[in-house]
Amino acid sequence: MEVILVPAFADNYIYVLRDAASGKVGVVDPGDAAPVQAELERRGWSLTHIFLTHHHDDHIGGAAALKDRYRASVVGARADAHRIPGLDVALGDGARTVFGEQTARVFAVPGHTSGHIAFWFEAAETLFSGDTLFSLGCGRLFEGTPAQMWESLQSLRALTDQTRVYCGHEYTQSNGRFALTVDPANDALHQRMEEVAGLRARNQPTIPTTIGMERRTNPFLRADDPGVQSAIGMAGAPAVEVFAELRRRKDHFRG
């Protein structure tokens, strides 16, 4: 499965997918239709599927126009059926959805929003995590509790190490500046930040990351790590409380 990054707005990524075996073409979280349409036209592709992770406008804003133009099928969360216009395929946790020769498994990952889902394409080991899991960070808790988000992140953390992670925003460098304040002795994090600095200096994306990389470097997946816990003065505390404290600190971080 081919994945193409389409930058949108200040720091969003929209993803165009193509299953080579079937020729099906999908898009994930088209907040804006115009750059997606331009990419499709440049490649001579039509669009068959629109995958939506959550209801925020910078993720769904272009979906209706693309559906209208290409007669594509809109796939999203059943829990958000009331606030995703034009939803055709409404899915819950554990559902599987077919995209050409690929199958995506749906994870319900509440926290950023109550209905947020992630799509894991099993054979391609490719995750679309929306605004739940970012590289070196996680989404703000607009509609959920720390306990919900921690559980959501644990379900994504359990995916294969080599799973490529495509998230909704290019936030890696600012996330990493915060991560260094709560996990300062983590060599893998320092190395990743050097790599990220090089990429951003050349105006290149830091995405995709991998689950293995995030397990080693993302503090929000490491609330049960003794190094993170002692760095913030919470050695031995329940992971969910450590996670809540990390999220609180990040909300107030000015890096």
Strand order in the sheet with 24-28: 2-8, 12-19, 24-28, 49-51, 73-77, 89-91
**By CB under 5 A, which span of 54-62, 99-107, 187-195, 197-205 interacts with Zn ion?**
54-62
Nearer to Zn ion, 49 or 55 (CB): 55
Q: Considering the rule CB under 5 A, would residue 55 count as an interface residue with Zn ion?
A: no
Q: Which residue number, 61 or 205, has a Cβ lying nearer to Zn ion? A: 61
User: Footprint of Zn ion on residues 56-75 (CB under 5 A)?
Assistant: 56
Q: Which helix (H) or strand (E) holds 130?
A: strand 126-130
- Interaction with Zn ion in 193-222: which residues (CB under 5 A)? none
Total residue length of the chain: 255
Of the pair 186, 218, the CB lying nearest Zn ion is at 218
C-beta of residue 62 within 8 angstroms of C-beta of residue 30 = yes
Determine the size of the site formed for Zn ion (CB under 5 A): 2
Span interacting with Zn ion, options 48-56, 94-102, 185-193, 215-223, rule CB under 5 A: 48-56
Binding mask 4-43 for Zn ion (x = CB under 5 A): ----------------------------------------
- Residue placing its CB nearer to Zn ion in the complex, 143 or 241: 143
Count of alpha carbons within 13 angstroms of residue 152, beta-carbon side: 31
- DSSP 3-state of 114: coil
Strands 209-210 and 164-167: antiparallel
Please, which residue, 19 or 80, has the CB nearer to Zn ion? 80
Query: Please, what is the minimum distance in Å from the beta carbon of residue 12 to Zn ion?
Result: 10
Q: How far apart are CA 45 and CA 22, in angstroms?
A: 13
Could you give the 3-state DSSP secondary structure of residue 237? coil
CB of 238 to Zn ion, least distance (A): 27
Smallest gap, in angstroms, from Cβ of residue 54 to Zn ion?
A: 6
C-alpha distances in angstroms, 118 versus 105, 222, 242? 8, 20, 24
Shortest distance, CB of residue 216 to Zn ion, whole angstroms?
Answer: 25
Q: Which is nearer to Zn ion, 80 or 183 (CB)?
A: 80
Of the candidates 116, 14, 139, the one whose C-alpha atom is nearest the C-alpha of residue 65 is: 14
Identify which of residues 124 and 149 has a Cβ nearer to Zn ion in the complex: 149
The interface with Zn ion within residues 97-156 (CB under 5 A) comprises 131
Q: State the DSSP H helix or E strand holding residue 76, giving kind and residue range, or none if neither.
A: strand 73-77
In a 10 Å sphere around its CB, with 0-12 CB exposed, 13-18 middle and 19+ buried, how is residue 232 labelled? middle
Considering only the stretches 52-60, 74-82, 205-213, 228-236, report the one whose residues sit in contact with Zn ion under the rule CB under 5 A.
52-60
Catalog residues that contact Zn ion under the rule CB under 5 A. 56, 131
